[in-house]
Chain A
Amino acid sequence: MLTSSEQLEKRFTLYKFHSIPDKAHFLNSNKASIRAVVGNASAGADAQLIHQLPNLEIVSSFSVGLDKIDLAKCKERGIRVTNTPDVLTDDVADLAIGLMLAVLRRLCQSDRYVRSGQWKKGDFKLTTKFTGKSVGIIGLGRIGLAIAKRAEAFRCPISYHARTEKSDVNYKYYPSVVELAANCQILVVACALTEETRHIINREVINALGPKGVLINIGRGPHVDEPELVSALVQGRLGGAGLDVFQDEPNVPEELFGLENVVLLPHVGSGTMETRKEMADLVIGNLEAHFLNRPLLTPVL
């Protein structure tokens, strides 16, 4: 089976920007001929890049998040933008629940306990029950709703915060994140990263969640004031955290490494073979549609 790169190379002239040593020189030499950019969660098309590519027609992102793309600039220039919604919803929601179970039931720690031979010396300690814990979700879009449906099967009462209250759900709405954090035991970040939601998890929210509360982040690193989170965890002001995303990936604060109530993952929210293939098909499908003057599959702009 071809990798995404190989598939792109079959159909288009592909430049792997991240592996080009002298990017400025490359752009100068090739800027006129570049008509498309393929981005992902780490890099997309910021204002600077858009400005340097006068013939850019489409940005196709290998992600559902659009925080790495300057949408205003694209709109201004008439550049099309596509992403990969829906195909990754299940995987991200599954991982959110997996992180909740891993943190509360100490799955990683007890796996280590067995591997290191400590079980021969004595039993592992008690952990915290997951069934029935109240779950608060920030952002009730596709991913937030999918998380809610899964958590309900564990008899978790669901509450949420979103820009506006949703009339078609039965979950309790809180008009502020702090109130949501004060009224739930597990808080999940499942909203898009925008100017408004940057550092939506700040000291006040963390304190409201408290020493028995757990934070799960499957959104974007910048949703969280990371130094605040680290100090809260180290000082025991926050009960635990399951994190798939970080401020400056792949760098993760090392103070978190030794904490038994923290699970750290290398941004694997959509990281299954099945879903990555579907995402790749969407990226390529959108590009082909564009260059064949057909309707785009999953346009944002």
Chain B
Amino acid sequence: MDCNGYRQENHDQNLFPKPKVLVLEPPPVFIYHEDKLSQKFHFLKAWDSPLPLDQFLTTHAHSVQAILSHGSCPVTTNTIRLLPSLGLIVTTSAGLDQIDLQECRRRGVSVAYAGSLFSADVADIAVGLLIDALRKISAGNRYVTQGLWANNGDFSLGSKLGGRKVGIVGLGSIGLEVGKRLEPFGCNILYCSRNKKSSVSYPYYSNVCELAANCEVLIICCELNDQTRHVINKEVLLALGKKGLIINVGRGAIIDEQEMVRCLMQGEIAGAGLDVFENEPHVPSELISLDNVVLSPHRAVHTEETLMALVDLVIGNLEAFFSNKPLLSPVLLDE
């Protein structure tokens, strides 16, 4: 590029500067696709600065209108209050428990999220963890690669999936995808949800405990909020019973983790498949020692294909906001 070209680009930059977007901590989509994102937006990187967050915000981000956030990055009341020009929070997550939605409502800040972009990937992991837990795929793989098949003989038997009653907790976009996938396996699908869904014929239960008492597998697909925090407690786990399995692809805090660990150690439930935990990346050491548990490091949504689709969604939402057009995947805040 010659001098004239450089000056022209610089000149254009001053006339039409890239909109500023604040990033508190980099979401995976940012780590993998920063180039593509930076072509359209100028990112203020709070995590990169030596300044404590409050100071960074008041010094550098006072006029910022948009934040790019992700599932494990809290956007607190305090942060929102330090940004008087804030109009939009874009989160790369489907979950919203990390954002102070009440403050957003109060201030008229819009929120855009991942919508149902992840639902297929999360449903795939839910089914994968279930088959793995029942049929001992990870444990069987360990058996072979540790040389035990050749030395110790046949591996132990697993349990059949077909014919099992599967209770889905939360029949939103993810829960529906899980139900659809399990039907041809011969599973009987039951569910509990805030409201009964007229579009499905699965039997509905109004509370989780009753659902647990009537099924052999519980799959947690709901969001984390005040009503669902620790909704899977001792009572629910005991109702699920000694042959029961629990699969969690929602949020760790939906389950009383200590209680679940105790139930697993004492054989009150038969096993678990977990993608999320109460205090990530910390996982209770008791779970590490169990062979009837399958563990996943909160990666249910992290496939290459979905991340590419996510970049486009993030860019689309930010562009819409900065050109006063309707957001592509807005969160309805008036509930």
Do A and B interact? Answer: yes
Q: Which A residues have a C-beta under 8 Å from some C-beta of B? A: 90-91, 94-95, 97-99, 101-102, 105, 107-108, 110-115, 119-120, 123-132, 149-150, 152-155, 249-252, 257, 263-266, 268, 271-276
A93 to B123 CA separation, bound complex (whole angstroms): 18
Give the interface size bracket for B toward A: 35 or more
**A99 engages B184 (CB within 8 Å):** no
**B137 engages A263 (CB within 8 Å):** yes
**A114 engages B295 (CB within 8 Å):** yes
Q: Which of B135, B144, B150, B297 contacts A110 (CB 8 A)?
A: B297
**A91 engages B306 (CB within 8 Å):** no
**A91 engages B181 (CB within 8 Å):** no
Please name all residues of chain B whose beta carbon is closer than 8 Å to the beta carbon of A123 when the two chains form the complex: 28, 297, 299, 302
User: Could you give 9 example pairs across A and B, Cβ below 8 Å?
Assistant: A90-B162, A94-B161, A110-B295, A113-B297, A125-B302, A126-B303, A131-B120, A150-B184, A155-B120
Q: Which of A97, A125, A129, A155 contacts B131 (CB 8 A)?
A: A97
Task: Name which residue of chain B comes closest to A91, CB basis.
Answer: B160
B4 to chain A, nearest CB (A): 41
Which of B76-84, B151-159, B206-214 lines the interface with chain A?
B151-159
**A276 engages B299 (CB within 8 Å):** no
B27 to chain A, nearest CB (A): 11
**B149 engages A153 (CB within 8 Å):** no
For the complex, is B106 an interface residue (Cβ under 8 Å from A)?
A: no
A134 to B153 CA separation, bound complex (whole angstroms): 36
Please name all residues of chain A whose beta carbon is closer than 8 Å to the beta carbon of B184 when the two chains form the complex: 149-150, 152-153
A91 to B185 CA separation, bound complex (whole angstroms): 9
**B283 engages A119 (CB within 8 Å):** yes
* Residue with the greatest number of chain A CB neighbours at <10 A, chosen from B134, B181, B282, B288: B181
For the complex, is B73 an interface residue (Cβ under 8 Å from A)?
A: no
A144 to B282 CA separation, bound complex (whole angstroms): 41
Which residues of B139-169 are within 8 A (CB) of A? 140-145, 149-150, 153-155, 157-162
A105 in contact with B124 given A111-B294, A123-B28, A272-B158 (CB within 8 Å): yes
Q: Which B residues have a C-beta under 8 Å from some C-beta of A? A: 28, 32, 120-121, 123-125, 127-129, 131-132, 134-138, 140-145, 149-150, 153-155, 157-162, 180-186, 280-283, 288, 294-297, 299, 302-307
Please name all residues of chain A whose beta carbon is closer than 8 Å to the beta carbon of B121 when the two chains form the complex: 129, 131
**A119 engages B281 (CB within 8 Å):** yes
A194 to B267 CA separation, bound complex (whole angstroms): 45
A248 to B180 CA separation, bound complex (whole angstroms): 38
Please name all residues of chain B whose beta carbon is closer than 8 Å to the beta carbon of A97 when the two chains form the complex: 127, 131, 185
Task: Name which residue of chain B comes closest to A130, CB basis.
Answer: B124
8 tightest CB-CB pairs across the interface, nearest first?
A101-B128, A98-B131, A129-B303, A114-B295, A131-B120, A119-B281, A274-B160, A90-B162
A65 to chain B, nearest CB (A): 17
**B144 engages A265 (CB within 8 Å):** yes
Q: Which of A95, A105, A108, A115 contacts B288 (CB 8 A)?
A: A115
Please name all residues of chain B whose beta carbon is closer than 8 Å to the beta carbon of A263 when the two chains form the complex: 137, 141
Q: Which of A98, A110, A265, A273 contacts B157 (CB 8 A)?
A: A273
A224 to chain B, nearest CB (A): 16
A129 to B121 CA separation, bound complex (whole angstroms): 7
Please name all residues of chain B whose beta carbon is closer than 8 Å to the beta carbon of A131 when the two chains form the complex: 120-121, 123-124
**B144 engages A107 (CB within 8 Å):** no
A237 to B161 CA separation, bound complex (whole angstroms): 34
Please name all residues of chain A whose beta carbon is closer than 8 Å to the beta carbon of B128 when the two chains form the complex: 98, 101-102, 105, 107, 130
Task: Name which residue of chain B comes closest to A132, CB basis.
Answer: B120
B184 to chain A, nearest CB (A): 5
**A107 engages B283 (CB within 8 Å):** no
**A266 engages B32 (CB within 8 Å):** no
Task: Name which residue of chain B comes closest to A111, CB basis.
Answer: B138
**A94 engages B162 (CB within 8 Å):** yes
Please name all residues of chain B whose beta carbon is closer than 8 Å to the beta carbon of A95 when the two chains form the complex: 131, 135, 137
Task: Name which residue of chain B comes closest to A110, CB basis.
Answer: B296
A99 in contact with B144 given A115-B295, A250-B150, A266-B154 (CB within 8 Å): no
A272 in contact with B141 given A105-B128, A107-B294, A127-B299 (CB within 8 Å): no
B301 to chain A, nearest CB (A): 10
Task: Name which residue of chain A comes closest to B182, CB basis.
Answer: A153
**A266 engages B283 (CB within 8 Å):** no
Task: Name which residue of chain A comes closest to B293, CB basis.
Answer: A111
Please name all residues of chain A whose beta carbon is closer than 8 Å to the beta carbon of B185 when the two chains form the complex: 90, 94, 97, 150
**B303 engages A127 (CB within 8 Å):** yes
B86 to chain A, nearest CB (A): 28
Please name all residues of chain B whose beta carbon is closer than 8 Å to the beta carbon of A98 when the two chains form the complex: 128, 131-132, 135, 137
B248 to chain A, nearest CB (A): 14
B122 to chain A, nearest CB (A): 10
